[in-house]
Structure 1
Amino acid sequence: MDAGADRPTPTPASEAVQGVLDTVRRLVGEGGCAWHAAQTHESLAPFLIEETSEFIDAIERELPPEEIRGELGDVLYQVLFHAVLAEQRGEGYDLASVARSLNEKLIARHPHVFGDRGYMSVEELNAEWEQLKEDAAGEERGSRAPLEGIPAGMPTLARAAKVVERLKRAKLVDPSAAERSAEDPLSAAIGPAEAAMAEVGIGDAMLALVIRANAAGVDPDRALRLATNRLAARVAVNDG
């Protein structure tokens, strides 16, 4: 039996997307909403973060599908808002060009789906994607640093996780290693016990550190940000 036989048929989205795009254009345009007209990409950035966080929260709380749909709609609104601002202010792109560029990139980054590469494992895909990024940027193969492209403005914990994952892929750190030397930049942060900790235990340990930071008058976000920077700098020196 076809595994997809019971799946609902996707609804064409072009008409619905065009409708909400026209609504946002009306809000931003002349004679529309004064608040919308006053916004910039910079002023909207906090709203994009907030709406994305609310969408993630809805998923994690396993809210009903209609509520998750509403939160995802709020994220889409932010995407449309930025696209319409760029369109109406002559910044060189609009929703159509954003969608075209995205589609081209997705197809180019997945030759195993849209080309003739055939099946690839997750490990092979990670290596392939880095090479494809280099090709797209006109860079020499192997020239991209492991941490290149990680936004400095990412939330601190998310950035720390991204840095560790990138370094792990590059085989510059091994978070799962049980035995560590004093020279290992991760030795003070990850011991043998942590490797086996469940999600709840890790969360409790992180919260305990936040409580400890509060007692010491330390900003935990800044502390983690600086520690991530130190790790990145040490690995860069050792790799060089």
Structure 2
Amino acid sequence: MEIDDGQQIMRAYETVRTMVSPGGCAWHEVQTHESLVPFLVEESAEFVDAVERELPASEVQSELGDVLYQVLFHAAIAERDGEGYNLQSVAESLNTKLIARHPHVFGDRGYMTVEELHAEWERLKEDAAGEVRGSRGPLEGIPAGMPALARAAKVVERLKRANLLDPSEGTDANSAPATEAQLGDAILALVTQANAAGVDPDRALRRAVDRMAAGLTETE
């Protein structure tokens, strides 16, 4: 008899639950959400790497499975330790949120453009949190712990979307990198210079992003 997708996921979940349970696997048994964070970051990075390197589908599938394993691991720990949720409740909450956040798909809002969706999602988030419409700041929900470059890109995109930043300001059209490769080389050159000067480039960028975000949002 063929096993459907849901049953396959539950079989994998049962395997992980067995490993984290007392008498299962000694290593799995002592892991916590905190101790697993580096593994989640690493597995996510390996999946991204597989996608960007355009590896064969079988390898991408394997890396995605490792990411799923981390999700199952965290859910099994939460269930074992009585934290009030498990894989089923995680999936149920996710499904409810997806439907609520996409009334243009599951409701009667009709087709919406990407630009309209950006504004709509912010309003839906406010409604879900019981907040007053328009009360959410443009940088609301961006994790402070994101990698500095990824966080910088997110902050810039959010501020641009809120009409608080013109990305073209402060750039020199004659020297600004025009391609992805040129930008990568320019960033690498800056990292090399930072190393020579004894400066942590990640820390420097985090602080620069904080200054930009504070300076542009405090005038709202």
Question: Offset at 1:216?
Answer: 1.2
- Aligned to 2:130, which of 119, 132, 138? 138
Give the match for residue 6 of structure 2.
14
Residues 70-95 of structure 1 show CA distances to partners (whole Å, capped at 9, x for unaligned) of 00000000000000000011000000
Residues 95-140 of structure 1 show CA distances to partners (whole Å, capped at 9, x for unaligned) of 0000000000000000110011111000000000000000000000
Q: Does 1:209 align with 2:201?
A: no
Amino acid at match of 2:29: A
Check 1:194–1:88 CA distance in 2 against 1; reply closer, same or farther (3 A cut): farther
Check 1:30–1:201 CA distance in 2 against 1; reply closer, same or farther (3 A cut): same
3-state SS, counterpart of residue 12 of structure 2: helix
The answer as to whether partners of 1:194 and 1:202 remain within 8 angstroms in 2 is no
Question: Offset at 1:214?
Answer: 1.1
- Aligned to 1:104, which of 92, 96, 102? 96
Query: How many residues were matched structurally?
Result: 218
Amino acid at match of 1:224: L
Q: Does 1:228 align with 2:220?
A: no
Rounded to whole Å, the distance in 1 between the matches of 2:172 and 2:134 is 32
Give unpaired runs (5+ residues) of structure 2.
none
Residues 183-237 of structure 1 show CA distances to partners (whole Å, capped at 9, x for unaligned) of xxxx2xx332466611111111111111111111111111101100110111022
Check 1:92–1:237 CA distance in 2 against 1; reply closer, same or farther (3 A cut): same
Rounded to whole Å, the distance in 2 between the matches of 1:96 and 1:191 is 52
Give the match for residue 15 of structure 2.
23
Q: Does 1:34 align with 2:26?
A: yes
> Percent of counterpart pairs with the same letter?
67
Give the match for residue 123 of structure 1.
115
Mapping for residues 68-83 of structure 1, pairs under 5 Å: 68-83=60-75
Rounded to whole Å, the distance in 1 between the matches of 2:99 and 2:5 is 20
Rounded to whole Å, the distance in 2 between the matches of 1:162 and 1:88 is 35
Amino acid at match of 1:233: A
Question: Offset at 1:38?
Answer: 0.2
Structure 1 outlier segments of 4+, above 6 Å: none
Give the match for residue 64 of structure 1.
56
Range with bigger deviation, 195-204 or 36-45:
195-204
Question: Offset at 1:42?
Answer: 0.3
Check 1:193–1:131 CA distance in 2 against 1; reply closer, same or farther (3 A cut): farther
Give the match for residue 149 of structure 1.
141
Give the match for residue 8 of structure 1.
none
Rounded to whole Å, the distance in 1 between the matches of 2:161 and 2:17 is 43
3-state SS, counterpart of residue 69 of structure 1: helix
Question: Offset at 1:160?
Answer: 0.5
3-state SS, counterpart of residue 218 of structure 2: helix
Greater relative contact order, per chain length (Cα 8 Å cut-off, separation 6+): 2
TM-score under structure 2 length normalisation: 0.96
